[in-house]
Amino acid sequence: MRTFSLCLLWPGLVSGLATPVSSPPPCRFVLDWTQDQVLKNTDQFEWDLLYWEGQFHQNNVSYNSDNGMTYDGTQLDWATGERTKKHPFSAASKEALQIMVYAHAIAGSSKAARFLSPEDPKKAPRIATSIMETKLKTYLQFNATYPGFGGFLPWMMTSSQNIEPTWDWVNRVPGLDNGELLWAVYGCISALEKSCKSSDHKLAAEWQKWFDYAKTTVDKVFYQGNGRVCAVTKIGDQTLAVNDPKQSYACESPAYLDDPYEGELFTYFIEFFSGLSKAEKEKLWLVKRAKLVSVEYNLGGIGPITVEQGYWFSGHEPWKVLELPYYDIDIIRRLHHNAERVRTCNSVVTKTPGLFASVNNSTDPVTDEIIGYISPAGIVSVASQKEQEHDVITPYGAWPTIMFDKSVGLAWWWNMLQGKKMQNPYGSTESTRVDGKLVSALVTWDSKITTVVSLLGGVGDLVRRKMKVDGVYDDFISIATREYSRVFRELKGEHVQLCVPKSTVPVAGLEDFTLCKK
């Protein structure tokens, strides 16, 4: 009875959109908005954003419709903004972003439908399930060909029907990205289970089988003993089965997955679902403790504000809050809110027209080459890594702010997109130099869809539902509370308001893309 009434309800959710399906917003829509308008009329701005970020969701741009797999992204023509070089590879982290959007589409979100199928929102759930069906076949085929991965995914070539490890990931597999993937799949299974269609329940059961298989291999592939999880595992032979007597696994280096940031998603997977003993599981948390550190931000008369120390304090680092319901825990939610006070106000104090996060450097206008990757971008005073580069800002730096205040977060996103070439026919552009002299003419899941997933609220709600069914939710709350309240009790600076941008990216000789100009 209950499922039946849901069946009647949800088509109403999708068709009863706040805004009728009308002509699309202009490609360069941010130039038609002022900061004040974004702050006051945030929902309409968000609606335009979802439309244009959704243009990234195209075959041969962000994914391969033949096998359902993501592509890392696509480079853009420096003058027009048209797509040029496709990145024919991907990784589990990009898969996670794609699957989180689909989870919301399946759950009936009108925002996810705006992204996936603005002309016909009713089609969005079917688009999502159909790609998830295709994707599962690809994953299973990969597992059949390369059983040594134990069901986990390396960086891979996704342009051929059957995916393969990229040349530099032959016989190697990373933990962090797979933690992101596993919880995204978990959220998607939750959405499928909740659906009223029996075909969705069948798909949920098939994905559950894939998920359950990873539970049986994870300790063999990644666990080193003594609470240590490999950051990257070296596989003896990727074509041999996990249990083959000739198979072997070892951490590639003494770099363990013990960070309190994105890597923690994998730790929780091992905690709840691996076959490790209770004593071993306790050690997982002991080895992680050294890196959870309390620091205070003080600059320009702002502060003190207590935050969790970042590695670089890059906007990539809080990713875990998109997937697990961390904000159910008061101290963690408040601490992360403080982080956004620091992230936004630091940029105002330092007169930066945007936010810092690890991102691709500019592209060379002549060769179309990406100059490099800037990992060390964040806030030095609250980071453990002090050598940083602050020449480039990126729109996705705003997603963690959006989790607390959509208006302020989108005001930052808007501010960065005011820069020349920062919109293109596939939505927002990867990054711009703060001096406005170059941009990265590139579109990727990381720099774009983190923001979309944040606007969808992450998948914490879907994940929470299933964690309760699986009986692991209370353990999650108790472990996360235990670890965070060991380090954080009183927080300073909770009265500080989030800051809105006060400076702009200078005009320095660049022109907007001809396919996306006012």
Ligand X SMILES: *[C@@H]1O[C@H](CO)[C@@H](O)[C@H](O)[C@H]1NC(C)=O
Site residues, ligand X (CB under 6 A): 59-60, 72, 87, 140, 143, 147, 151, 159, 209-210, 213, 241, 358-362, 371-374, 389, 438, 444-447
CB within 8 Å of 255: residues ≥ 6 apart:
231, 232
Least Å distance, CB 340 to ligand X, is 19
Smallest CA-to-CA distance from 411 within 68, 45, 50, 108 is with: 45
Least Å distance, CB 429 to ligand X, is 11
Identity of the residue, 211 or 473, whose beta carbon is nearer to ligand X in the bound complex = 211
For the chain, the distance separating the N- and C-terminal CA atoms, rounded to the nearest angstrom, is 52
Backbone angles phi, psi at 68, to 5 degrees: 75, 10
| Residue that is written with structure tokens 């306790």 in the block | 282
DSSP 3-state of 270: helix
Identity of the residue, 85 or 281, whose beta carbon is nearer to ligand X in the bound complex = 85
Least Å distance, CB 431 to ligand X, is 8
Smallest CA-to-CA distance from 41 within 393, 414, 466, 505 is with: 414
Using an 8 Å Cβ cutoff, are 421 and 81 in contact? yes
- How many C-beta atoms surround the C-beta of residue 489 within 10 A? 10
Report the amino acid identity of residue 421: K
Least Å distance, CB 98 to ligand X, is 12
Identity of the residue, 282 or 369, whose beta carbon is nearer to ligand X in the bound complex = 369
Identity of the residue, 45 or 211, whose beta carbon is nearer to ligand X in the bound complex = 211
Identity of the residue, 80 or 294, whose beta carbon is nearer to ligand X in the bound complex = 80
Using an 8 Å Cβ cutoff, are 421 and 512 in contact? yes
| Strands 228-229 and 164-165, sheet pairing | unpaired
Distance CA 387, CA 90 (A): 28
CB within 8 Å of 449: residues ≥ 6 apart:
53, 56, 97, 98, 101
As beta bridge partners, residue 172 has 234
Q: What are the structure tokens assigned to 119, written together?
A: 């002309």
CB within 8 Å of 366: residues ≥ 6 apart:
none
Identity of the residue, 371 or 487, whose beta carbon is nearer to ligand X in the bound complex = 371
Least Å distance, CB 32 to ligand X, is 27
Least Å distance, CB 410 to ligand X, is 19
Note the maximum CA span of the chain. Answer: 65
Distance CA 29, CA 32 (A): 5
Closest residue to ligand X, based on beta-carbon distance:
372
| Residue that is written with structure tokens 């076959």 in the block | 275
Least Å distance, CB 373 to ligand X, is 6
Using an 8 Å Cβ cutoff, are 278 and 319 in contact? no
Q: Where are the beta strands (DSSP E) in 57-208?
A: 63-64, 69-70, 73-76, 83-87, 89-90, 156-157, 164-165, 172-174
Least Å distance, CB 56 to ligand X, is 12
Least Å distance, CB 490 to ligand X, is 34
Least Å distance, CB 64 to ligand X, is 8
Least Å distance, CB 36 to ligand X, is 29
Identity of the residue, 180 or 341, whose beta carbon is nearer to ligand X in the bound complex = 180
Identity of the residue, 60 or 350, whose beta carbon is nearer to ligand X in the bound complex = 60
Identity of the residue, 60 or 134, whose beta carbon is nearer to ligand X in the bound complex = 60
Using an 8 Å Cβ cutoff, are 332 and 480 in contact? yes
Identity of the residue, 35 or 58, whose beta carbon is nearer to ligand X in the bound complex = 58
As beta bridge partners, residue 249 has 235
Least Å distance, CB 439 to ligand X, is 10
Buried/exposed 183-196: b ≥16 CB within 10 Å, e otherwise: bbbbbbbbbbbbbe
CB within 8 Å of 41: residues ≥ 6 apart:
none
Q: What are the structure tokens assigned to 309, written together?
A: 């120390």
Identity of the residue, 136 or 302, whose beta carbon is nearer to ligand X in the bound complex = 136
Identity of the residue, 216 or 381, whose beta carbon is nearer to ligand X in the bound complex = 216
Identity of the residue, 292 or 510, whose beta carbon is nearer to ligand X in the bound complex = 510
Least Å distance, CB 92 to ligand X, is 11
Is the Cα dihedral 403, 404, 407, 413 positive or negative? negative
